[in-house]
Amino acid sequence: MKTEERHRLIGELLRHRAEISVEELTEACDASGATIRRDLEVLASHGVLRRVHGGARSLIVRGENPGYGQRELEDQAVKVRIAAAVAGLLRDREHVWLDSGTTATEIARTLRGRELTLMPMSVRSLTAVTDADPNAGQRPALLLPGGSLVPGELCFRGPFAEANIRSLRFDTAVVTPCALNLKDGLLAHDLEDAAVKRAGLESAARVIVACAGSKWNANAVALVAALDAVNVIVTDKDLSAEELAHLNKLSVEVVKA
């Protein structure tokens, strides 16, 4: 098993367990104890887990937002497909608001050569857009929201960011919720994140939601918006006939990634 595959598996196991031993991981990953210990040290340095004697402990409690390092390991192939689908929905010369998070960073990578005006809500997305060959030609014009920078997440939050977002009008907002369900709509793990997402959503003529299937019916505490505020959902989830009918009543288009 390759290093990246081991890291993903360890992260996934700790999504469902409070603690796991080195011995259990050597069996699950078919690797030596020394290799697993090195993996755990690397993952601990990225905020994925806490190293304890004889193994590792999860940093996640029910309904809590996993750290960026943990989320970056998850659903990577899905995020790439979702990002490509979202990019295909954006038209040249649009003004686009882009949420923060790992999916948003992947979307930013797909927009490097696009003729857009983009407000990215994280330093990682900003870097993903600008980290390209300076002679590559066209790239998005950037607007920065300001506000407070959240450690670890490196995203912009707070009333200053919200005020700057609300002072503009975007053609499209790309929202990446922490959770989604048909009853409540779009959810986030904390109130500040929800407020920023709401500001972006309410400042745009069109709202695209990028949401991996793993986030459907997940737990999150803060309401962002009901689904009737959404125009398009891009997801890898195979929706049931009932789910599609519900979204159709709300005039929400579903794009399968």
- pTM of the entire structure? 0.75
β-bridge mates for residue 225, sequence order: 186
**Going edge to edge, which strands form the sheet with 49-52?**
19-21, 55-58, 49-52
253: tokens are 């288009």
C-alpha 170, offset from chain centre: 20
52: tokens are 């304890």
Measured distance CA(165)–CA(143) in Å, rounded: 10
Q: pLDDT 10s per residue in the chain (257 long)?
A: 888 888 878 877 887 777 899 999 999 999 999 999 999 988 887 767 889 899 998 876 444 455 555 555 567 889 999 999 999 999 999 999 999 989 999 999 999 989 999 999 999 999 999 876 555 667 899 999 999 998 878 999 999 999 999 999 999 999 999 999 999 999 998 899 999 999 999 999 999 999 999 899 988 889 999 999 999 999 999 999 999 999 999 999 999 99
Contacts of 217 by beta carbon, 8 Å cutoff, 6+ apart: 179, 180, 181
For 81, phi then psi, to 5°, come to -65, -40
pLDDT of residue 152: 76
161: tokens are 């960011």
pLDDT of residue 103: 94
234: tokens are 């891009």
- Nearest partner of 38 among 18, 20, 68, 26, judged by Cα: 26
Contact 234, 86 (CB under 8 A): yes
Contact 209, 180 (CB under 8 A): yes
pLDDT of residue 74: 66
pLDDT of residue 228: 96
pLDDT of residue 63: 44
Q: Token pair 């929202």 is at which residue?
A: 175
